[in-house]
Structure 1
């Protein structure tokens, strides 16, 4: 089979490489010079476990990275994997990237190839936006076109593994679309779920991410509620869950990243006014409120900003486990932006994020070494749960060599510090006690 993939970001590149490793002849269009340079050297432009090895095995064999799709190839399908950002402060999805992606195939698409939408969209988009756009582009009627919604549901940091192990959801506007989608994804994974409609497939992706968002919102809300009773919110959740199968309250923490920060808004985009919509929105907004709570904690600890007050922020990628270098949609970045807007100076650190991407944030001074980042700081904010914190903090005396140094360990990642009486440390569970 020959498949073209438009968009070689986190979703597109992992899919194109895994598909190529399964024997599918894949053509991936990319115009970004940095991404192309990385791929020429058999590397991804981001960290994903196992991905570089697969690139090396497939590059220039079944994997073809091109500026535009070759005209002499007969394609079975084109897969659209570009992102669906929200428009500014409106919190509504922007479909211009998807439309631009489809325009990029107009010279090689005649309406007979399957178009697979992998991007996250609001309910009804595939039928009401994508199909009419394709009809206009190729001049065919809707019943002549082949369109599938096959949502991506992988966990960043485990995408290579999950693409070949998770059930893949497929759908189509007709039986032939479903059949072609099955042929492609059965080469990748042994389990296929056929949704009954394009809309069901769209909802499956939105439900999966919004469910996680709302589950974490419960843990965060419980954590903050406990502190109103002068109880440590993290500990009460831990003890409530221990050995009790009917309690699985989420550990408090930031809910962010390129999917979870926006998919609740995409879900409610076309939803009529109802209590469900209000409930979903309230959960999302509570998770977002944690960023302002961290800023408030900083202000409570060191007061108004001045030239002698520096804050160290570590864990700028949106999550630490599984580790990723991804800064998109990171609560850590949003917290840094709010602290900068308030006038604070910052030192930034991350175990995995690329130095050039950290420096491009222009939010503070980047440090490769955590101890260097803390050397002149008054506070340290540990903002993700990377496993290295547990071992690095065994030498924590280097971090608090002067009086008044405090740490906010937002994920309880610095386990070594909890056995020390020398460092002042707070968590999300007791930050306001």
Structure 2
């Protein structure tokens, strides 16, 4: 136990037990905080009470059961009257609404619950990704209805799914309080969690850091995807251009191209842009990058469909296997929020509405695959067997390690494999006759032949 009994802010209430809230709750409970977790979904609460997380995260189930056994974590559907919390951490979701604007209703509702329950001099921390100015403009007026003094800070979550428990204990924690006293108090709290605290001037600075971090990653990935588009157009391999160009050259650090989505990158650039509207400025590079990433599925599947139809004997009702359905494969996750597999599938259905569609993912449960309108397959080999089109949509290690040459012999003819993540050099593969491999950014490197 790292947190001494005498620490005044030892009792914590965390509102929202999704990916951000549950990993934080389990971590804080594991180091000795007395944690109350609040989650409005009763089926999730019931599972958590039995030690069953509702998503995949390495090490989380063991940690959850450990803190439940110790009694340092309690899970409820609302803040109970007998709570002793002095600190309230809001980690609820902030998705985009149908109008493309950030939804703040969950933030407002959770903040209202805090206002109704917090004691005098409580510490309130916002951890959800929010539009610029939300901490002061939205949270403060709601909290002030309590009629008691409080401290307030914005402390963004910055972990990567798949390694969240490790990163919570290692990554620097940004802290931006509404006052210096609030900043110092929040910093003292998080010093039990991670060794490095970065205090910034105010909540707005902390809000901006979170949005800029994710927008920068989206821009970086978009440039890699632009390189892929250019290489496809002129007939050279983006895989070779990127790998050879940065080998031993420290001033280039371009990632490989691939689909870019997920619960953060699909929305945070728009949340950043929305917050800047009041200042009369638009983040042009940020928005251009996001739109380039969004149009990639349609452009690539247009190419694949055109290539398939140009082959003699390609059926009107092909068997299509979509593999790698979570929004990313490294580190592995079962998170389908913002996955680019959905627009890839939509583009395929536009070209092949009568096809037989299969889905494979080594982490996503069968129910999640079925919910996407795909027939689940138990193994990678089952997915490819008899398929006319195979599309690899994420970068799970299973795909780069698979015996693709052997598996190509089980496919229907003509057969096409499209790999968004360049797991193989198509020029070096020896596939079954009548099969061809294409990778993003290498459309011109290999030409298919009919069986």
TM-score bracket relative to the smaller structure: over 0.9
The equivalent position to 1:348 in structure 2, one of 352, 359, 377, is 359
The corresponding residue for 2:89 is 79
Q: Which runs of 5+ in 1 are unaligned?
A: none
**Aligned ranges 1:253-402 → 2 under 5 Å:** 253-272=258-277, 277-303=283-309, 308-342=317-351, 343-345=353-355, 346-361=357-372, 363-393=373-403, 396-397=406-407, 400-402=410-412
The corresponding residue for 1:3 is 12
- The question of 1:204 aligning with 2:209 is answered yes
The answer as to whether partners of 1:169 and 1:192 remain within 8 angstroms in 2 is: yes
The equivalent position to 2:126 in structure 1, one of 117, 120, 123, is 117
Q: Measure how far apart 1:70 and its partner are.
A: 2.7
The answer as to whether partners of 1:321 and 1:386 remain within 8 angstroms in 2 is: yes
Greater alpha carbon shift after TM alignment, 58-67 vs 346-355 = 58-67
Q: Aligned with 1:208: secondary structure?
A: helix
Q: Measure how far apart 1:225 and its partner are.
A: 1.3
The answer as to whether partners of 1:117 and 1:148 remain within 8 angstroms in 2 is: yes
**Aligned ranges 1:55-204 → 2 under 5 Å:** 55-60=64-69, 61-88=71-98, 90-110=99-119, 112-136=121-145, 138-139=146-147, 144-204=149-209
Greater alpha carbon shift after TM alignment, 14-23 vs 298-307 = 298-307
The corresponding residue for 2:38 is 29
The corresponding residue for 2:5 is none
The equivalent position to 1:240 in structure 2, one of 218, 239, 245, is 245
The answer as to whether partners of 2:235 and 2:443 remain within 8 angstroms in 1 is: no
Greater alpha carbon shift after TM alignment, 274-283 vs 207-216 = 274-283
The corresponding residue for 1:427 is 439
Greater alpha carbon shift after TM alignment, 104-113 vs 243-252 = 104-113
The answer as to whether partners of 1:347 and 1:374 remain within 8 angstroms in 2 is: no
Q: Measure how far apart 1:129 and its partner are.
A: 1.3
Q: Aligned with 2:64: secondary structure?
A: helix
Greater alpha carbon shift after TM alignment, 197-206 vs 286-295 = 286-295
Q: CA RMSD in A?
A: 2.2
TM-score (norm 1): 0.92
Greater alpha carbon shift after TM alignment, 236-245 vs 98-107 = 98-107
CA distance in 1, matches of 2:384, 2:96: 35
The answer as to whether partners of 2:230 and 2:441 remain within 8 angstroms in 1 is: no
Q: Structure 1 residues 309, 121: closer, same or farther in 2, change over 3 A?
A: same
CA distance in 1, matches of 2:153, 2:136: 10
CA distance in 1, matches of 2:403, 2:23: 33
CA distance in 1, matches of 2:195, 2:126: 20
Q: Structure 1 residues 242, 310: closer, same or farther in 2, change over 3 A?
A: same
Q: Aligned with 1:188: secondary structure?
A: coil
Q: Which runs of 5+ in 2 are unaligned?
A: 1-9, 446-451
The answer as to whether partners of 1:371 and 1:399 remain within 8 angstroms in 2 is: no
Q: Deviations over 1:247-293 (max 9, x none)?
A: 11121111111001111111111214777612211011111111112
CA distance in 2, matches of 1:11, 1:420: 44
Greater alpha carbon shift after TM alignment, 48-57 vs 203-212 = 48-57
CA distance in 1, matches of 2:408, 2:315: 24
TM-score (norm 2): 0.89
Q: Aligned with 1:59: secondary structure?
A: helix
The answer as to whether partners of 1:116 and 1:150 remain within 8 angstroms in 2 is: yes
